[in-house]
Homo-oligomer: A and B are copies of this chain.
């Protein structure tokens, strides 16, 4: 047994959707969350920069004595997961592997669409993972760079978001995909709108729950599950900027009481 916390990080608030699934599936585990709000977004930055940022965050989380780390950001997963696994001697998992597994289980016609940031799509991480598991699968990626700003402006059910989504999804419709991976942690927040455009017959895959399941399997496998009944909601949240704004959004997303969010200087790590 290992009572140490789980580290989870993202460029901002998006990864809280993953943290929430972890808290729900593994209620005895403590979570240490870091959101890199001073340097958000990650989606249009280079691999070199994303690796540097991820390295600083992993060092911070290790200093907080976490027993495992979840990269709850598709871009950081795409660009930095392998490098982090090589550099650090601690279990580190991402969201893309679970997302790819779910897509393979969900598709019937073997035509899978991936939507994400420029970085995630350019990395072809989902294509590589899916094709390594199912060589018959056809994978079509589409970068949707305006979704994050539109979601952050709260235009979740807006005609403008609908118009932009319609443009982005056009090619995936033409390819007749029956499954789309929401390859960015912001996108579940506009799932209803995306489903309306694609039609009810298309599966929209959100990797968050499957990621929590992967983490659970890892902890069981390594005998690291925390069986002590902790104080509930005993999670800690850190950001690199604007703690109050983060706390406001986090309360809405997590929908339960939480500790005050603390701001740290991530460049020092």
Please report A residues at the B interface, Cβ cutoff 8 Å.
37-39, 44-46, 48-49, 145-146, 149-150, 152-153, 159-160, 163-164, 240-242, 267
Contact = CB atoms under 8 A, between A and B. Distances in A.
What is the total number of copies of this protein in its complex? 2
Interface of A is mostly: loop
Nearest to A48: B241
Nearest 7 pairs between A and B by C-beta? Answer: A149-B149, A49-B241, A267-B267, A38-B49, A46-B242, A39-B39, A46-B241
Contacts of A267: 267
A184 to B, nearest CB: 14
Max chain B Cβ within 10 angstroms of own Cβ: one of A44, A145, A150: A44
A242 B159 CA distance: 33
A146 B153 CA distance: 8
Contact of A160 (B49, B164, B241, B242): B164
A89 to B, nearest CB: 25
A30 to B, nearest CB: 28
Contacts of A149: 145-146, 149
A46 B244 CA distance: 11
Given A46-B242, A49-B242, A145-B149, 18 more contacts: A37-B45, A38-B39, A38-B49, A39-B39, A45-B241, A45-B242, A46-B241, A49-B240, A49-B241, A145-B152, A145-B153, A146-B149, A146-B153, A149-B149, A159-B163, A160-B160, A160-B163, A163-B163
A240 B38 CA distance: 15
Contacts of A38: 39, 45, 49
A192 B150 CA distance: 23
23 contacts: A37-B45, A38-B39, A38-B45, A39-B39, A45-B241, A45-B242, A46-B241, A46-B242, A48-B241, A49-B240, A49-B242, A145-B149, A145-B152, A145-B153, A146-B149, A146-B150, A146-B153, A149-B149, A159-B163, A160-B160, A160-B163, A160-B164, A267-B267
